[in-house]
Amino acid sequence: MAILWNNYSWDRIGKTNRPIRLPMAVKARKTIEQSGVIPIFEDRVVLVTSRKTRRWIFPKGYVGKGLSPVESAAREALEEAGLVGSIDGAAAGSYRYRKQGRSYSVQIFPFFVESMLEEWDEMGQRQRVVVPPLEAIDMLVHDDLRAIVSTYFNIGVELQRLRS
């Protein structure tokens, strides 16, 4: 755990230069590592809803203890969306976000869907949909996820043309 030490700061407000006592130690919060997938089924993308806000997202979660980011991402695809498949290659992108005072860093990997289960762990908590990449971009709320999909499918120019 990193600790930042600050003993004194000087008050330059008003006519005095008196020292102000700051807290001795301030804990630096660690960025939490997560991984997820862009599920690709044929030439389309699979999205799921988040449990709380019901927004359309990609399956993602914490990198499990003893698992690589790739293994954790594949596990999340199975648990959250009932997807069986494989990850081939490097991350398609990454993004950061803050939630409830914590910082998260997420790596997103292309996931080639071989089969979609009719029943899966979180099916009662989420919806699942299969859509073309352009429609996925419109459905995703997070700009970083939109950018990752756009870059991966090389549709940035077409997207700009459609939104003009």
Average pLDDT over residues 137-145: 92
What digits encode the pLDDT tens for the residues 2-60?
433 444 444 444 455 555 555 555 555 789 999 999 999 999 999 999 998 999 999 99
Q: What is the pLDDT of residue 12?
A: 46
Spatial neighbors of 53 by CB under 8 A, at least 6 apart, are none
Q: What is the pLDDT of residue 161?
A: 53
Domain 32-163 fold is Nucleoside Triphosphate Pyrophosphohydrolase (3.90.79)
In the chain, the percentage of residues whose pLDDT exceeds 90 is 65
CA distance 129 to 150: 18
- Please report, for the chain, the start and end positions of each structural domain, with discontinuous segments joined by +: 32-163
CA distance 89 to 160: 28
What is the end-to-end Cα distance of the chain in Å, rounded?
48
Q: What is the pLDDT of residue 130?
A: 98
What digits encode the pLDDT tens for the residues 60-88?
999 989 999 999 999 999 999 999 999 98
Which has more pLDDT, 162 or 35? 35
